[in-house]
Structure formats: C-alpha cells, structure tokens
Amino acid sequence: VLHMSSQPNNEVPPPAPDDPNKRAKLEEKEAKKQEHVSRRKEKRTKKRKERQAVRDDVASKPADDGGDDGAAVSAGVVTLDQIGETSYHFRAGLRCVHPYAFTFKTFCKGRWDGRTVLDLYTQDFPTLPREVYMRKIQAGLITVNGAVVSPDTVLHIHDELAHSVHRHEPSVSDAPVRIVASDADVVVIDKPASIPVHPCGRYRHNSVLFILAHEHNHRALYMVHRLDRLTSGLLLLARSAESAKRYADQIQAGKVRKTYVAKVKGQFPETPEDLLVDQPLLVQNHRLGLNRVAPEGKPAQTLFRRLAYDTHTNTSLVECRPQTGRTHQIRIHLHWLGHPITNDPLYNDSPGIR
C-alpha cells in the first residue's frame, strides 16, 4: 500500500549525540566530507578553464587547410601538455607510442565506498597481482587525496584516487587518419581500422582524437557518432556543441543513412529484397563491452543485402544498413544469422580469414 502524506517531505537531521567525543567525530567526518566536495568542485572548475583556454586559443588562430577556424565546445579537448606527453614512431605497418609517465585519477564511486584501497584495485582492476598493488601503495604510486596511505585504508565517497604508471599503449595501424572534408561546422575523416575514436581502456594517444590533435592541430572536436575500434570508414566530428547536436538529431531521426560493407563467413542468403533482422540487444558484460540477442533487450534493426560470394574462401560481402544504433549491432546480428564477420575477435568462434 502506497501511503501519501500531506506533510512536506523535508529531511530532518538526526539529533546530535550527547557524548562529546561522538559529536566531535561526527563533526570531523562532516567537515572532511565538505572538504572533499569542495576539492572536487575546484578540480572541475580548473578543468573547465583549461578547456576554455584551448577553445579560445583555437578560435584566435586563422584557418588552415585542415582548418581550425572556429571555437569548438567539447568535453574531449586535447591540451598542449597532453600532446607533449609522448610522440609516435612507426614500424612494420604499425603506429606506436613511446612509453610515458601517466597518472590515472578518479573519484571514489558509491559502490567503492567502505572498501580498502588494496581490495579495490585487486578486485576491480585485476590487471596486476595483489602483491604488485601492495608494493605500489606502499611506494606511494597509488595515493588517496594526494597522500600516501596504507593498503588497508578505507575509501569514502569523494576521495580522489591516483595511480601513477609507466604507460605502454598497444600499437595500431599506421594508416593515416585522413581528412576528407572540412568546413566551419564539421571535420570528416576516413578512420582506419584498429584505432579507437576516443581514449578508452589502454588507448589514449593511439586514438582518433589524439592523432588529430598531434598531426592536424584539431584539439577541440565534438563527438557526433562513433565507429567501433575495428571498423574503418567515414567519421563525422563537429566543431561546436550546436553543430554536434544538430547532426546527432538528424542521425537519431533517421535522416542520415549509414551503410557498411562486411566480409562474413559462409554463403550469405541472396534475397529479392533486403533481409531485415529485428532482434533486441542486451548488454551481457559491461566490463568487456559484450552484448547479445535477448527478448528483454533494447530494440535493434539492421537491413542486409548480399553483394558477392567467393566460393574459394567461402566468404560473402554484405551491405549492412543499421536502422538503430546499438553497440556492436551489425556484428551481433550477423552472428545471430550464422554469418559472423570473418575476423571478428568477439562474435566469431573461429576468426582468422581476412
């Protein structure tokens, strides 16, 4: 039974305890909490000012051939300091990043509250053994609120965690990130396969946004849509929040047609009309980014049409036109049809054919 009360739902703080020691501890805890909140606000303000400085710097420069001819409002601004962290070198068809010093920073999330520093890193970031994390905490390479702590220090919401590392990024294709069109609103690039669009996971400088900053001086661009790391093709980036919203709204409304070509396993069916796959998708593993077909998932539709079939390799070229924009949608729908992309490491049980 839902009980509706006519009384205002104002929170009333609990009465202060009679014990002076308990009262002092509560006051100390509240003061520490407010200090953390204030520190976090200061850091956010500082970051906003840094982004605005980059945008002002970009806006003050004349346009060039690739041209930064307007101020871009972007959450993905790449600063000159970040560009100066490292550089690229190329070998054997790969773009490589020289290892560099880097500090991962994050604030304590609600689900981390009450856990120890050692348990958090060991359980949520299991890339290193527990013993290594123990040594890093003791050496001050992992800190809390800028201070060296013990491995059994208990974390609280708003605590700032910092983890200093010698960062080694995976290599990607050395194919150039080529600008195919550019105007006052957008920059359109030809994204090579293997390069993620934005920094994520182990990739940072080996991402489209950082490469554009390094090599084309595009340091403030706004995301309109994304392509999977392993997917190549045209990518639209906006110079302003207004432009990004306008183009994103057109994509959302179905006014923009996106077409992909995939090489798939087996003889894809040849039909007189486009083959529609209308199968909802559900996130299976947030950490790995895996999705699957499931009745309780979000609606997802893709149109397919066979372009060619190679009897020697038993592979088909298929035109794919997503009608919705779910993560890995085309890859999962092709797998569901029994024709996974030939070299898909996630949704093909035996990738290998290129």
Q: Enumerate the active-site residues.
A: 228
In single-letter form, the type of residue at position 108 comes to: C
For residue 208, the one-letter residue type is V
Q: Which helix (H) or strand (E) holds 269?
A: none
> Residue 180: CB partners within 8 Å, gap ≥ 6?
188, 189, 190, 234
Dump strand ranges (E) for the chain: 88-91, 94-97, 100-107, 142-144, 147-148, 160-167, 172-173, 178-182, 186-191, 222-223, 233-238, 260-265, 275-278, 281-285, 290-293, 301-310, 315-322
Strand partners, 142: 163
> Tokens 């965690």 belong to which residue?
161
Q: Facing residues of 283 across strands? A: 291
